[in-house]
Structure 1
Amino acid sequence: MLIKWRITAPLLLTLLISTFCMADEVAIQQEDHGIAYVTGGIGSEEVEAMESFKKQFNLYFLFSEGKAGRVIDDIQLSILDSKQQPVFTLAHAAPRVLLNLASGKYLVIASYLGSEQRYRFVHDAKKHQRVILNWRNKIDEDTVEPTIEEDAPPAMPADASALP
């Protein structure tokens, strides 16, 4: 019995420490404009941690790319109010962002790898709202197979006069 405890105790301690580390990675933070938020969602542990925070926030953003909807991070996120004044900014958002906004009209400006998206919406602070922004992905666009024309003439060399 003592041997089992010696093996089990370190495992339990490791599990407990990793749980605290996970909580540190995904924690409620406060942005410059005073809005509490959480960002994360890379890996199953962070997704689970984000899920545990969901009910505390009224707005949920998900950032993805391509037809498959692969989650992306390092998003530059700005939310402007109806007077075009910034109410929330985040320089390096992870794939998921939870925050609380007051009711009102907003403009979201999100940038990923130099490509910008703008989205206007009306927000009701008493309801939970989800916004998904998806960027096109060059790989998806390049995977379309080119069509071959059957009656196309054969290609000619650059210098046709060199032929006999």
Structure 2
Amino acid sequence: MNKQQPFNHYLSGNRTLFSRNARPARRRRMLVATLICATVVIAAAWRPARAADEMVIRTMGPVSYVCGGVAEDERASLAEQEKNFNMGILFTQGANGEYLSEVDVKLTMDGQTVASFKTGGPRCLIRAPEGSYNIEATYKGQPKSIKISTGTRNAQLRW
């Protein structure tokens, strides 16, 4: 009858499965696995945003808005959504009309602020109750304003 060999017989040298020499190797493997998982999580969180991620319809009280329009797919998406909104404004600068984003916008009606937001692109579509609104926009500390009514979809503020 064959005598059963202990498991330690298969390990190299005089190491055992739970010896002190095995602990640093286990720790290194655990550290490598943890670093790989952390890298995957960080890479997923920092992936480049797609237009669909950025162009979210936001609501503030009775007003809904969506901003975007730098990339071709964003412009196409805004064109598709335009029928669902009753106002539109484009923010540009200079003689060539370069697109602006990160413009602080305040929408007021009869002196009362109805909505305020920071644009995520040069074109904003706004859905608001019928009436006339004053759009006060600030870009790099320079304020501009325009008065528009619902139904106006091609307003423009240029710095």
TM range, smaller chain: 0.5 to 0.7
Where does structure 1 lack aligned partners over 5 or more consecutive residues? 1-20, 136-164
Gaps of 5+ in 2: 1-49
- What amino acid does structure 2 have at the position aligned with 1:62? L
Question: Aligned runs of 1:31-46 on 2, under 5 Å?
Answer: 31=60, 33-46=61-74
What residue number does 2:117 align with?
90
Structure number with bigger Rg:
2
TM-score, with structure 1 as normaliser: 0.61
Given that 1:77 and 1:110 are in contact with CA atoms closer than 8 Å, whether structure 2 keeps it comes out as yes
Counting aligned pairs with the same residue, the percent is 25
Q: 1:105 aligns with which of 132, 143, 149?
A: 132
Q: Does 1:130 align with 2:154?
A: yes
Partner of 1:138: none
Please report the TM-score for the alignment, with normalisation by the length of structure 2. Answer: 0.63
Q: Which whole-Å deviations, capped at 9, do the CAs of 1:128-164 have from their partners, x for residues lacking one?
A: 53211111xxxxxxxxxxxxxxxxxxxxxxxxxxxxx
Distance 2:74 2:153 in 1: 20
Alpha carbons of 1:64 and 1:77: their partners in 2 closer, same or farther (altered >3 Å)?
Answer: same
**Residue among 56, 67, 70 paired with 1:27:** 56
2:80 corresponds, among 52, 69, 74, to 52
